[in-house]
Structure 1
Amino acid sequence: MMNHSEIILASSSQTRKALMDRLGLAYRCISPDIDESPKAETHADDLAHRLSFEKAKVIAEQYPDAIVIGSDQVAWRLNTPHDFIGKPLTTENAITQLMQNSAQTLYFSTGLSIQHMQSGFERTLVEHYQVKFRELSLDEIQRYVAKEQPLQCAGSFRCEGLGISLFESMSGNDQTTLMGLPLIQLCYALRQLNIVIP
């Protein structure tokens, strides 16, 4: 029966959709309407965990027979996991973020929540990834932001695009964690729900 459960990605992110497409599964996207601002969280892991759980829960309550996937990502710098780096939203903010990132290591806490209300299945976790930026000039930053417009990306870059040119190194278990949807852990959870991959 589980093989016939609908799969819903609780997101409107084009990047997360592209990642889900890699798995070759039938699914649809429904954007959850939740307040993403921090509450009492003092660590990026806690915020990413709560938001991914809430995103999935909002949709799972509406579609209890569906397998719902929620994800959220929070960026931060060394020794300041309480200082959350969000989406820049404007060109000026993106340039400022990248100037601050120059020659720094940026850490990413990516929450993933898989919920299937009908069977009582719920798994929520946080995966980690980090990138070390090379020293960036203002000219390089301005050219990059103008070309790729990473205004909806925490940290102001797209690693799957030209953003890779800004890095000195990358480190983590699963590069899709950096892109916003940890596919290795997602596949593991979906197999527990009897979804056949590959």
Structure 2
Amino acid sequence: MSQFDLILASSSQTRQQLMNRLGLPYQCISPNIDESSQNETHADDLAKRLAFEKAQCIAKQHPHAVVIGSDQVAWRINQPHEFIGKPLTTHNAIAQLQQSAGQTVCFSTGLSIQQHASGFEKTIVEHYQVKFRQLNLDEIQRYVEKEQPLHCAGSFMCEGLGISLFESMSGNDQTTLMGLPMIQVCNILRALNIRIP
């Protein structure tokens, strides 16, 4: 593969760090799409559509490249129609974590890999769950102040101090929780004859 045959359709530092694990040359291009819901009634549907649209946006511009798009939607167990978004403010982050304390929060992570020139397109949704400890307000405020998870769905960063908020975690691939399900990324790239490792 030449240097720019693989594109990550994202500006997320966390997703870039995950891609770096593969040791493959790639570039990042941030897709400019509207990430708001279009009357989806399940988190899976929203995550899948956004991942597809992110990959499609960049794949149309670079038809010979293999483009990876991903998006994540958080929701509390048994409430897949009530999406937990990025808090954006300290006040909202504290409120989100207060609501999640003692609860199980689910993550639907959409993954879409596309190559327009060959007509290849594979879009899936992977799942992960975290059970939050009972958290008091002081713990929540200290956590938000230290880690500033204002651009993270669910108001935490599991790859950082956010791990201290959990009672347990469950799923097939922890990178799903981080926003890019790497086991499936590897499986799909191998199907495209990209050698990993």
Q: Same fold per TM (> 0.5)?
A: yes
- CA shift for structure 1 position 119: 1.1
Amino acid at match of 1:88: P
Determine whether 1:42 maps to 2:52: no
Determine whether 1:91 maps to 2:57: no
1:26-57, Cα deviation, whole Å (9 max, x unpaired): 00000000000000200000000000000000
Total equivalences in the alignment: 196
The 1-side partners of 2:196 and 2:98 are apart by: 41
The 1-side partners of 2:102 and 2:139 are apart by: 13
1:116-159, Cα deviation, whole Å (9 max, x unpaired): 11111100000000000000010000000000000010000000
Determine whether 1:126 maps to 2:122: no
- Specify the alignment match of 2:196 in structure 1: 197
The 2-side partners of 1:157 and 1:74 are apart by: 13
- Specify the alignment match of 1:11 in structure 2: 10
Please list every run of 5 or more consecutive structure 2 residues that lacks an aligned counterpart in the other structure.
none
RMSD (Å), alpha carbons = 0.7
1:79-101, Cα deviation, whole Å (9 max, x unpaired): 11010000000000000000000
Amino acid at match of 1:148: E
Where do 1:53-92 residues align within 5 Å? 53-92=52-91
1:152-190, Cα deviation, whole Å (9 max, x unpaired): 100000000000000000000000000000000000000
The 1-side partners of 2:128 and 2:196 are apart by: 24
Amino acid at match of 1:175: Q
- CA shift for structure 1 position 78: 1.4
1:50-83, Cα deviation, whole Å (9 max, x unpaired): 0000000000000000000000000001111010
- Specify the alignment match of 1:148 in structure 2: 147
Please list every run of 5 or more consecutive structure 1 residues that lacks an aligned counterpart in the other structure.
none
Runs of 4+ aligned residues of structure 1 deviating over 3 Å after TM superposition are none
**Percent of aligned pairs with the same amino acid:** 75
In structure 2, the residue corresponding to 1:82 is in which secondary structure? coil
The 1-side partners of 2:10 and 2:138 are apart by: 34
